[in-house]
Amino acid sequence: GVLRGHEGSPLVVGNMMYVHTPFPNIVYALDLDHEAKIVWKYEPKQDPSVIPVMCCDTVNRGLAYSDNAIILHQADTTVVSLDAKSGKVNWSVVNGDPKKGETNTATVLPVKDKIIVGISGGEFGVQCHVTAYDAKTGKKVWRGYSIGPDDQMLVDPEKTTHLGKPV
């Protein structure tokens, strides 16, 4: 029902299929054992002013699954954890600021007990970053920037580069 660019695939976990749309990033849970009946729908309310800030149309590259939760990174940079069975919001956190040029088109990467997520907006000169959130609570664990001082980039010259070692 959304006639915009789309770059994400369905996500199948057991007998459920989770599909999503480009902006406004609606998520559907479909029961594959019952003719793809819609079990729940999550429809975020996002400010449409984010659309002209997005690069390359209003695409979204997909959902992720982690420990009975469906994770969505919305266009407005909100990361949302949805209960996989009910669609109820477990937690949600804002990862960036579209007013500064930060948006999202990417999916997230669950790694153990963390949700790893990036940010879009380099074309607007934003200081892009990769952030880890606690998968259970949504609390920010760490953030590393793509440019800036070593401490912001999470680079320790003595441990991560040859610069700290005697030659």
CA pair distance 120, 129, nearest whole angstrom: 9
Residue 89 confidence (pLDDT): 98
Residue 115 falls inside a structural domain = yes
Asked if residue 125 lies in contact with residue 146, where contact means CB atoms within 8 angstroms, the answer is no
Count of domains for the chain: 1
CA pair distance 80, 64, nearest whole angstrom: 11
Residue 166 confidence (pLDDT): 59
The CATH number of the domain holding residue 51 is 2.40.128.630
Residue 99 falls inside a structural domain = yes
The two tokens of residue 95 are 């990862």
Residue 1 falls inside a structural domain = no
Residue 152 confidence (pLDDT): 83
pTM: 0.89
Residue 54 falls inside a structural domain = yes
- Residues near 71 by beta carbon (within 8 Å), at least 6 away in sequence: 63, 64, 65, 79, 80, 81, 82, 108, 110, 115
Residue 153 falls inside a structural domain = yes
Can you give the pLDDT of all 167 residues of the chain as single tens digits?
Answer: 777 888 889 999 999 999 999 999 999 999 999 999 999 999 999 999 998 888 778 888 999 999 999 999 999 999 999 999 999 999 999 999 999 999 998 899 999 999 999 998 878 788 889 999 999 999 999 999 887 788 888 777 777 766 555 55
Domain housing 82: 11-164
Residue 4 falls inside a structural domain = no
Sheet holding 140-145, edge to edge: 109-111, 114-117, 129-134, 140-145
Residue 154 falls inside a structural domain = yes
Sheet holding 27-31, edge to edge: 11-13, 16-20, 27-31, 37-42
